Amino acid sequence: MKMKAAVVREPKVITIEEVNLAPPKENEVLVKTHYCGYCHSDFSAVESGQLFPIPFVTGHEASGVVVDVGPGVKRIKKGDHVVACWAVSCGRCKQCVKGNEYICPEYRNFIEAGSLLDGTSRLTDANGKPLYHSVFVSGFAEYLVIPESGAIKLREDFPLDQAALLGCCVPTGLGAVINTANVKPGDSVAVWGIGGIGLNVLQGAKLAGAKPIIAVDIEGSKEAIAKEFGATHFIDSSKQDPIPIVQELSGGGVDYAFEASGDVGAIEQIYWALGIGGKQIQIGLQDASKKAQLQIIFTPLHAKDIIGVMYGHVHVHTDIPAFADLVMDKRYIDLDKLITKKFKLEELQSVHDAMREHKIHGRWVCEF
């Protein structure tokens, strides 16, 4: 079928093109896209042009309704409301067998190849030349062909605009707090980077009963939204050194500090803002060419932990529907306020530019 999609052919440039999408093959489903959020990971892929083979169709935080299924599909049917999940595990390797499917090495090979699980793409441009997939999803397109294992069925009363956020920023942020850190009531928490993921870390910390919950960002304009999502304090790190302030607010350093900015300077600040026995939770992806400078001797002396977290350590087919239930119970998680703007596919380049200029607060979502 022919459809509109956002294609990246060179760094920093997104073009909206008419492309061709082949039907789903075995164990794949066809989804009519309803919404797709613009994540900082999308920004990094477009800005660098190096994370996936070029040209690729961008986007990975999508939701929609299943309109067709390929041979062998058993769990998903036409009409199901789904979140497109980019962490498609093989179920057979050592990590999957151990329950760590979020770090399955097999799916990463296909991501790097820009393909689906059979090693090929369903996308071609108007001239019939191949286009590559972005982490199985390629969400900025009118339709998606994704693996059945990457289609997470949701309750039909769940709003599809909010459902898109369950594809990435919600499980990554909440999961880091609940699954990885296992924050307990009364634990002190600080969060560096108050984007879509950082806001969900704040929500998770509030849900866990942490206190204080300290938000740190270089943009002072994020203070209001940070406090709305659970922060008890906010520090504008462009104007103040957050380390002594965090230490004072937490009585000597926080129990848990989450890095959600992708900035090496934040990593260094967090290390010194931790209390004795504290845990540094690394979520953000940094520029591979940069290095953080840490006096690592204090890791054993202060019994500090530095923990990397991929996708909130979630088990997608159980955790994502559970997060949806928490959202529907209005007492726990609020995603409606997380969506601060909706835009059309044709506006995606301007959205990308706005993210570069630090003009995006909360999550901006494309509406199809």
d(CA 338, CA 329): 16
Q: Which CATH superfamily is domain 2-159+336-367 in?
A: Medium-chain alcohol dehydrogenases, catalytic domain (3.90.180.10)
Whole-number percent of the chain with pLDDT over 90: 85
89: phi then psi, degrees, rounded to nearest 5: -90, 160
Q: What is the pLDDT of residues 83-122, one digit of tens each?
A: 999 989 888 899 999 989 888 988 888 999 999 999 999 9
**111, 147 Cβ separation under 8 angstroms:** no
> If you count them, how many residues does the chain have?
368
Q: What is the pLDDT of residues 3-51, one digit of tens each?
A: 999 999 999 999 999 999 999 999 999 999 999 999 988 998 999 887 8
Banded model confidence at residue 276, pLDDT cuts 50, 70, 90 = very high
The domains of the chain are located at: 2-159+336-367, 171-310
| 55 class by beta-carbon count within 10 Å (0-12 exposed, 13-18 middle, 19+ buried) | buried
Q: Tokens 């984007």: give the residue.
A: 195
| Domain at 171-310, CATH class | alpha beta
Q: What is the pLDDT of residues 161-175, one digit of tens each?
A: 999 999 999 999 999
Q: What is the pLDDT of residues 323-338, one digit of tens each?
A: 999 999 887 888 999 9
Whole-number percent of the chain with pLDDT over 70: 100
The reply to whether domains 2-159+336-367 and 171-310 share a CATH topology is: no
DSSP character at residue 141: B
Beta-bridged to residue 19, according to DSSP, are 3
341: phi then psi, degrees, rounded to nearest 5: -160, 145
Top-confidence residue, 134 or 107: 134
Q: What is the pLDDT of residues 203-245, one digit of tens each?
A: 999 999 999 999 999 999 999 999 999 999 999 999 999 999 9
